[in-house]
């Protein structure tokens, strides 16, 4: 399963490239509305996937483009890993945003927590 660091995603989104990834935010709608990555799309299946209901995502694959990379985002990146695996099984080129929105916000704020996590990601 693939993963992408917040810094890598930011670089890809800012590059202006035609290969811009589709950022799929699976968090509940209220969480998405209060804080989201610019240009992302909300497909609120987080709660269902946490409960083991894979069909919640699989039934909505027609809403996920299959002609470009997909980066899956949730709160911390844990449930996004499950969504990424499901998408990969269906033939999508999908990756999980490491640290989820927490990691994304930490990257932009330059927080100590993010910097420590980033060091751990490099070691792995």
pLDDT of residue 19: 78
Say how far apart CA 28 and CA 21 lie, in whole Å: 21
Does the pLDDT value for residue 38 go beyond 70? Answer: yes
Q: Six-digit token pair at 110?
A: 């330059």
Percent of the chain with pLDDT over 90: 77
Say what the pLDDT of residue 120 is. Answer: 65
With CA atoms as reference, report the closest residue to 45 among 85, 73, 4, 6. 73
What percent of the chain clears pLDDT 70, i.e. is strictly above it?
85
pLDDT band at residue 107 under the 50/70/90 scheme = confident
Mean pLDDT confidence for 22-26: 98
pLDDT score of 55: 98
Kindly state the average pLDDT of the residues 90-108: 93
Q: Give the span between the Cα atoms of 77 and 90, in whole angstroms.
A: 20
pLDDT surpasses 70 at 14: yes
Q: 2-123 domain in CATH 3.10.450.50?
A: no
Token readout for 46 is 């987080």
């Amino acid at each position: 399963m693939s993963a992408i660091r917040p810094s890598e995603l930011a670089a890809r989104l800012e590059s202006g490239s035609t290969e811009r990834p589709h950022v799929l935010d699976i968090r509940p709608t209220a969480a998405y509305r209060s804080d989201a990555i610019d240009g992302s799309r909300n497909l609120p299946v987080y709660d269902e996937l946490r409960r083991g209901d894979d069909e919640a995502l699989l039934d909505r694959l027609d809403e996920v483009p299959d002609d470009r990379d997909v980066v899956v985002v949730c709160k911390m990146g844990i449930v996004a890993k499950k969504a990424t695996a499901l998408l990969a099984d269906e033939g999508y080129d999908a990756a999980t945003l490491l640290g989820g929105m927490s990691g994304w916000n930490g990257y932009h704020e330059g927080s100590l927590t993010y910097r420590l996590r980033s060091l751990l990601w490099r070691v792995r």
